């Protein structure tokens, strides 16, 4: 048993093998995402015992969760926060009070009312199924990912096409790199990914697809990863500091909120590729390239030099400024401020961030090339290396 100075019982690490992969279909779980918006709350239920767990519940939705449990005849055994949230108030304490469920968080969480403390390998039993906690610090020091049969509830450790910010209090990009490199290689690529947020209305992803397209999972050295994320640092808004403080105290008033209406991408690790981001398809960019007029527009590749010159190649005529260097190198492209700028990367994720960054810097006619160089190559369009 790991001792710590925090309140609550620590759930021991299991020493026997935790079922996963193919040994996991002992019981068909009921699994649902309950929130309509960017914050995700997951319901996991065992039909055999009617025991259930709620992961990352919102304080303001407490009554909806209670009536959902009631309608299904579920008994709430666990309420789990994957980390101390900075963007919304947790319903963990109130649900625990109202139902008698255990409130579980990582052993380092500051929550005063968590009754169970999780560490790496802690196992929570739900009917015939085990929910295993995996330590994945980086977004916060108390971040956990929950491993279920065939599914990972990643919290803000990994999003679909991104990851949680590492520049909020307790965040650490180097620690995030270590978590990614320790945990992801050990997970079956067919595992479904359920993040703590999604800002584009996506429900789930598959790890194999994330490995192909998620910029946070592109192979990088630790120092490169840290430099990449550090270039996207933003200040922590005061309302987030207030939210963390309130979550540690265990808020119980469902009408309480600190989040401003427009903070839709609060936990995203960079300016979010928000809905409405101006995008061009690879076919549209191809037509533009074929029509000439280089002086009137800029194709801006924001990958790393080895990618730009590597096997995948780059769109003909594209110049290279890696995303982490872009803020400091804006003067080099100053003369394109009134012209069309098309940001390009490998899959469209880093270039989306570049598009937002350029727009924020005052470039007006900026576009993201949707699908990136991968999509360009898939169409068989020519590249330079
Ligand atoms: Fe978060």
Contact assessment for residue 369 and residue 348, using Cβ atoms and an 8 Å cutoff: yes
- pLDDT-derived band at 78, boundaries 50, 70, 90: very high
Q: 237: pLDDT confidence band, cut at 50, 70 and 90?
A: confident
pLDDT at position 271 is 40
Q: Cα 324–327–330 angle (5° rounding)? A: 125
Confidence of residue 266 (pLDDT cuts 50, 70, 90): low
Question: What is the whole-number distance in angstroms between the Cα of residue 88 and the centre of ligand 1?
Answer: 8
Centre of ligand 1 to C-alpha 164, Å, is 6
Residue 270: band (very low, low, confident or very high) from pLDDT cuts 50, 70, 90 = very low
Q: Encode burial over 337-364: b for 16+ CB neighbours within 10 A, e otherwise.
A: bebbbbbbbbbbbbbbbbbbbbbeeebe
Residues 288 and 298 sit within 8 Å (Cβ to Cβ) = no
pTM over cut 0.75: no
pLDDT-above-70 percentage for the chain: 89
Work out the mean pLDDT of the chain and round it to a whole number: 87
> What's the helix, strand, coil split of the chain in %, to 5?
30, 25, 45
Distance 385 CA to ligand 1 centre (A): 39
Q: Alpha-carbon distance 228 to 241, whole Å?
A: 24
CB neighbours of residue 385 within 10 Å: 9
CA of 351 to the centre of ligand 1 (A): 23
Kindly state the average pLDDT of the residues 80-87.
Answer: 96
For residue 322, the CA-to-ligand 1 centroid distance in Å is 27
Ligand 1 center–CA 57 separation, angstroms: 13
Query: Torsion-angle region of residue 373: left (phi > 0), alpha (psi -120 to 50) or beta?
Result: alpha
Distance, CA 228 to ligand 1 centroid (Å)?
Answer: 19
3-state secondary structure of 9: strand
DSSP string, 234-257: -PPPHHHHHHHHHHHH----TT--
Question: How close is the Cα of 194 to the center of ligand 1, in Å?
Answer: 14
Q: How far is the CA of 3 from the centre of ligand 1 (A)?
A: 26
Please state, in angstroms and rounded to a whole number, the distance separating the CA atoms of residues 158 and 230: 17
State the distance from the centre of ligand 1 to the C-alpha of 16, rounded, in angstroms: 31
Lowest mean pLDDT among 272-286, 306-320, 342-356: 272-286
pLDDT of residue 75 exceeding 90, the answer is yes
């Amino acid at each position: 048993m790991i001792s710590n100075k925090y309140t609550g019982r620590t759930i021991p690490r299991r020493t026997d093998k935790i079922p996963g992969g193919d040994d996991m279909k002992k019981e068909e779980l009921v699994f649902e995402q309950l929130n309509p918006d960017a914050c995700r709350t997951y319901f996991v239920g065992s039909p055999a015992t009617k025991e259930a767990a709620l992961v990352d519940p919102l304080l303001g939705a407490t009554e909806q969760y209670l009536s959902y449990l009631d309608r299904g005849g579920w008994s709430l055994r666990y309420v789990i926060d994957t980390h101390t949230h900075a963007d919304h108030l947790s319903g963990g304490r109130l649900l625990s009070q109202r139902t008698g469920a255990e409130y579980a968080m990582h052993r380092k969480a500051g929550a005063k009312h968590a009754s169970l403390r999780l560490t790496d390998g802690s196992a929570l039993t739900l009917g015939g199924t085990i929910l295993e906690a995996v330590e994945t610090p980086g977004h916060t020091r108390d971040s956990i990912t929950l491993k279920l049969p065939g599914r990972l509830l990643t919290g803000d450790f990994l999003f679909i096409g991104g990851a949680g910010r590492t520049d909020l209090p307790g965040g650490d990009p180097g620690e995030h790199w270590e978590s990614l490199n320790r945990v992801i290689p050990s997970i079956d690529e067919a595992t479904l990914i359920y993040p703590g947020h999604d800002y584009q209305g996506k429900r789930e992803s598959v790890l194999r697809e994330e490995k192909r397209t998620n910029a946070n999972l592109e192979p990088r050295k630790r120092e490169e990863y840290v430099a990449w994320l550090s270039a996207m640092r933003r200040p922590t808004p005061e309302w987030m500091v207030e939210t963390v403080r309130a979550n540690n105290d265990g808020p119980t008033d469902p009408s309480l909120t600190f989040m401003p209406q427009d903070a839709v991408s609060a936990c995203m690790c960079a300016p979010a590729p928000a809905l409405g981001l101006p995008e061009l398809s690879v076919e549209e960019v191809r037509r533009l390239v074929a029509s000439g007029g280089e002086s009137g527009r800029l194709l801006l590749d924001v990958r790393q030099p080895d990618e730009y010159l590597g096997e995948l190649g780059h769109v003909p005529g594209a110049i290279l400024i890696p995303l982490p260097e872009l803020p400091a190198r804006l003067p080099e492209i100053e003369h394109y401020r009134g012209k069309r700028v098309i940001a390009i990367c490998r899959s469209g994720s880093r270039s989306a961030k570049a598009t937002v960054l350029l727009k924020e810097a005052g470039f007006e006619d900026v576009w993201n090339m949707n699908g990136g160089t991968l999509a360009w190559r898939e169409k068989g369009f020519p590249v330079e290396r």
